[in-house]
Structure 1
Amino acid sequence: MSTDRPLTDGSPRPMNTAVLLREAFNVLNAVPLARLAAAGHDAVRPAHGVVFQHLDDSGTTVSTLAERARMTKQSMAELVLYLEKHGYVTREPDPADRRAKLVAPTERGREVITIAQSTVPAIEDALDELFGADHADRLRADLRAIIDTANSRLPAVP
């Protein structure tokens, strides 16, 4: 990840809240990605997290994955295709809808999910140590408040 910030009028561009949140996510997301690479899953890239994050054990349609991730179906389909080619997911007919296919984790995909989820306690503990448990809990609550109220309090998207 580059540490250089773009310049505006010759000075580093200020980092607003959204940029700070994204950069913090990138730093935290590097932990499970490093563990995945060390376990032989170096084909998994940062962008693939949205597939694994929103994937049900029993399978999920690309449309639902895209909706959950707030991205286009086409972009999600590309991510799924890559993961399918690398053996992390399969696409099987949806028994509830013959036209649809369910994306389901393979054993290899389940291993990725397990490794990624196993990093959560260490990350949470590190944040508790960095900020103090009470402050870290307030941070989590504040982040949940952003998520929960974003649609009602933030400016509408044109």
Structure 2
Amino acid sequence: MDPVPALLAMTYRALGDQFHDRLRQIGLEPLRPAHGYVFRFLKERRATTVDIGAHLGVTKQAAAKIVAELDEWGYVLREPHPTDRRAQYVALTTKGRDYLKLADNLWADLEGEMAEAIGAATLDTVKQGLTAYLRHVHGDDQPGLRPVW
């Protein structure tokens, strides 16, 4: 049997692949996992491209490319920064917030399918165990969802 970290990574990949397959079936833009991390990061805040790049662990140029794609598709808008003329704030649009609701529903569907596959009680135990482990490692200061490149 594979070690737990490998099983977690393979499960995350399988869920992500299913999620993106469903996005393609719906006919949305060719969103990638990096876009999803930006949506989640911007859910509660507006941020600069530099902030987004730091969150993703990518260069400012790579973050700017992701922001440009999301802007072109209407998921984000760019606003002037109040104190730095070179910077812009990036915020979700209504379309971006609607996408987050859709994504949450798709993830809930996938979680439901996982519960069918392994049993609801087993899934609850897995969730409790993972939550306890994260609390053990990070205490009450849980990190936000970030990519692991």
- TM-score, with length taken from structure 1: 0.67
Question: Residue 46 of structure 2: SS of its match in structure 1?
Answer: coil
Deviations 1:99-155 (A, max 9, x none): 253221223323321221111322222222222222111111222233333358xxx
Instruction: Find the aligned partners of 1:81 and 1:57 in 2 and give their Cα distance.
Output: 20
Question: Residue 42 of structure 1: SS of its match in structure 2?
Answer: coil
- 2:124 is aligned to 137
Greater relative contact order: 1 or 2 (C-alpha under 8 angstroms, separation 6 or more)? 2
Question: Residue 87 of structure 1: SS of its match in structure 2?
Answer: coil
Q: How does 1:101-140 map to 2 (within 5 A)?
A: 101-140=88-127
Aligned counterpart in structure 2 of residue 98 of structure 1, from 78, 83, 90: 83
| Unaligned segments of structure 2, at least 5 residues | 140-149
Instruction: Find the aligned partners of 1:49 and 1:123 in 2 and give their Cα distance.
Output: 16
- 1:23 is aligned to 10
In the alignment, is the contact (CA less than 8 A) between 1:41 and 1:112 conserved in 2? no
In the alignment, is the contact (CA less than 8 A) between 1:57 and 1:105 conserved in 2? no
Higher share in helix: 2
**Identity percentage over the alignment?**
28
Instruction: Find the aligned partners of 1:73 and 1:148 in 2 and give their Cα distance.
Output: 30
For 1:55, give the aligned amino acid: L
In the alignment, is the contact (CA less than 8 A) between 2:79 and 2:88 conserved in 1? yes
Instruction: Find the aligned partners of 2:52 and 2:71 in 1 and give their Cα distance.
Output: 15
2:40 is the alignment partner of 1:44: no
Q: State the Cα RMSD in Å.
A: 2.8
Instruction: Find the aligned partners of 1:147 and 1:60 in 2 and give their Cα distance.
Output: 26
Structure having the higher Rg:
1
Cα distance change, pair 111–30 in 1 and its aligned pair in 2 (3 A):
farther
In the alignment, is the contact (CA less than 8 A) between 2:29 and 2:73 conserved in 1? no
- TM-score, with length taken from structure 2: 0.70
How much has 1:61 moved relative to structure 2? 3.4
| Unaligned segments of structure 1, at least 5 residues | 1-13, 153-158
Cα distance change, pair 43–147 in 1 and its aligned pair in 2 (3 A):
same
Cα distance change, pair 64–34 in 1 and its aligned pair in 2 (3 A):
same
